[in-house]
Amino acid sequence: MWPTSSGGAREVDKLEEEPVSLDAGRIKALMSAVADSRDIGAFELLYRYFYPRVRSYMVKMTRGNRILAEELAQETMMRVWHKAGLFDPARAQASTWIFTIARNQMIDSVRKSSKPDFDPNDPAFVPDDFEAADVLIERQQSAAALGRAMATLKGGYAEVLRLSFFEGLTHSTIAEKLNLPIGTVKSRIRLACEKLRTALQDEAK
């Protein structure tokens, strides 16, 4: 059983000393415990894993505003708790799903903009075809596969992805920062994306 904050104080103290590490399988099990039985102990473990990471993301996206970053990370985790039932492990990894919640929170609060999104229930929405069902299976296996694929990217390519996701830089800002022509930044992005897709497809075969 998961330690709860009322009954597992010693466990919690131990967790506080060492950073929590959870593998993808454990995260998935904890997510379904939260979704299916509103298990607060399971959620605490997820919180101790994800909250510091999301907060660190928010610190970067707010350009170092720690108070705002903390507030946004709390809000993100609150949404994880409330929306856990909407998480579909067949469609994405939990960390990916939580990233998208954090990102949308960031767009809303930091960029003060709305996030235009498609709606799968819209009658004009074109659903996935049968071939895309293979992609779903591919995604289920993709945490480890993606890690391996990311590890094969050369430094300059992974860096462009990191600057986009974790520094929130636009491509022209990345070009300025790395002192590269914008065309080079765009071609690195294209090559990095192709390489990731190929690596994931190869793993899925």
Partner 1 sequence: MIEHHLDDDMLLQYAAGTLAEGWSVAVATHLALCPECRSKLAVLESVGGYFIDNEIANDANVSRDWESLKAEIDAGKIDKVVPIKKRSDSDRTYPEPLRTYIEAAGGLRWRTLGRGAAQMIIPTGDETATLRLLKIPAGQPVPEHSHRGIELTLVLDGSFSDEVSTFARGDIEMADDSLMHQPKADAGKDCICLAVTEAPLRFKSRLLRLIQPMLGI
By CB under 8 A, name the one of 14, 63, 115, 154 that touches partner 1.
115
By CB under 8 A, name the one of 64, 86, 124, 179 that touches partner 1.
124
In the shown chain, the binding pattern of residues 6 to 45 toward partner 1, with x for contact by CB under 8 A and - for none, equals ------x---x--x--------------------x---x-
Residue 6: φ, ψ to 5°:
-85, -40
From its phi and psi, is residue 179 left (phi > 0), alpha (psi between -120 and 50) or beta?
left
Closer residue to partner 1 (CB): 63 or 115:
115
Terminus-to-terminus CA distance in the chain, angstroms?
36
**C-alpha closest to that of 24 among 74, 87, 92, 73:** 92
By CB under 8 A, name the one of 32, 74, 109, 140 that touches partner 1.
74
Closer residue to partner 1 (CB): 32 or 161:
161
Distances in Å between the Cα of 15 and the Cα atoms of 63, 80, 198 are 29, 21, 38
Closer residue to partner 1 (CB): 32 or 150:
150
Is 176 a binding residue for partner 1 by CB under 8 A? The answer is no
The Cα 126–Cα 158 span in angstroms is 32
